[in-house]
Amino acid sequence: MAPVTAPAGPPATPGGPAAPAGAEMHALVERLYPLCRSITGDGVRATLDIVGEHLPLRVHEVPTGTPVLDWTVPQEWNIRDAYVADPAGRRVVDFAASSLHVLGYSVPVAATMPLSELREHLHTLPEHPKWVPYRTSYYKPDWGFCLAQETLDALPEGPYEVRIDSTLADGHLTYAEHVVPGQVEDEVLVSCHVCHPALANDNMAGVAVAVFLAKELAERRPYHTYRFVFAPGTIGAITWLARNAERIDRVKHGLVLACAGDRGPVTYKRSRRGDAGIDRAVRHVLAASGRPHRVVDFTPYGYDERQYCSPGFDLGVGSLTRTPYAGYPEYHTSADDPSFVSPEALADTLAVCREAFAVLDRDRRYVNLSPYGEPQLGRRGLYDAVGGRSDTKQAQMAMLWVLSLSDGEHGLLDVAERSGLPFGTVADAADALAAAGLIKAA
């Protein structure tokens, strides 16, 4: 399937004042941003501690060496300090200023070396000389520093003191779950990664949206059970899948949240199936809303949707971002700071999730109990029931469409897609028809 792009419309930047939740989510991003996170370690635990102030979490600690599918839980990495000091003793690269300055998973180092030797371990972005890149070496022992190109260009020759006070030892991989109980045990999985240091959009914005989405869902009893997974990227999702393989059939829908707060339009990436319930629900919501947006096909690269959609599991899990991974210059750099994240964009991403999950929760199949000819709606008060609405004609048409397609085979989302009517209008019509005894759940 080719990408679907919304027709030209309003600017991509969400307009209008931020909803209160947008400001609160942005404050959470700002609080989480400075923590030094990685795929294991105390930074992940500190992040989950803050999330735990908002949501009750079940935190899991999986020991180093545990087999998880084709992988093994790695050693735990923690870091206390790191710096490069120039010949005058000044810290020209300092972990205390930003956790991005250290190559993730760097092994301990205490040495003095000339600049020529040090350069082999320095990472910059020549095309953006003021920015510091984000780099890691999770599965290959190495060490290094990340710095601005303009800083590197100003370094004099001479001996440099290099210090990385880190540990790489047997420990645990940490992840957490939060469950919002529903009316049924069938689950909607919401997943976001908690492993990136000092990157606001990727992915503390996704974490913040997940937190506030869970809080909203807890205020009502949703139809589905919602399971939120806060885990390190790739290895965290693989670990969760390995530990939940026997109950994976409960997951009926899923969404990976990432890059949720930049000012670009919403992008939805379909599941590997391409026509899963979440694919249809998000596509309908985006099209009906008039938001500028893109719907793109699945690829086996990106975030953790590629783990959930792997052929052995084949879950109906899509990915919701604004600008996708690597799609903006600030991606994986120090420029992805809280100022890059917009409260309005966070609120808009939350709204898309809210609207899509409302579709999943209300989508039902019905059977028409008066299928021979059109039933008389007026004498049942159904026309009067919608007479005062501004969308009276639309609501009446929705009733006729629901009656026509209530054959036990079509759901309400089918009705909305075929009729071109908003899903909420269709669902309201079904409620009214069910209350009048004209349809029943299949």
89 φψ region: left (φ > 0), alpha (ψ -120 to 50), beta (else): left
Measured between its terminal Cα atoms, the distance across the chain in Å is 31
Mark the binding-site residues for Zn(2+), compressed into ranges: 196, 202, 332
Three-state secondary structure readout of the chain: CCCEECCCCCCCCCCCCCCHHHHHHHHHHHHHCCCCCCCCCHHHHHHHHHHCCCCCCEEEEEECCCEECCEECCCEEEEEEEEEECCCCCEEEECCCCHHHECECCCCEEEEEEHHHHHHHEECCCCCCCCCECCECCCCCCCCEECCHHHHHCCCCCEEEEEEEEEEECCEEEEEEEEECCCCCCEEEEEEECCCCCCHHHHHHHHHHHHHHHHHHHCCCCCCEEEEEEECCCHHHHHHHHHCHHHHHHEEEEEEECCCCCCCCEEEECCCCCCCHHHHHHHHHHHHHCCCEEEECCCCCCCCHHHHCCCCCCCCEEEEECCCCCCCCCCCECCCCHHHCCHHHHHHHHHHHHHHHHHHHHCCEEEECCCCCCCCCHHHCHHHHCCCCCCHHHHHHHHHHHHHHCEEEEEHHHHHHHHCCCHHHHHHHHHHHHHCCCEEEC
Neighbours of 33 (CB within 10 A): 19
Q: Which residues contribute to the annotated binding site?
A: 196, 202, 332
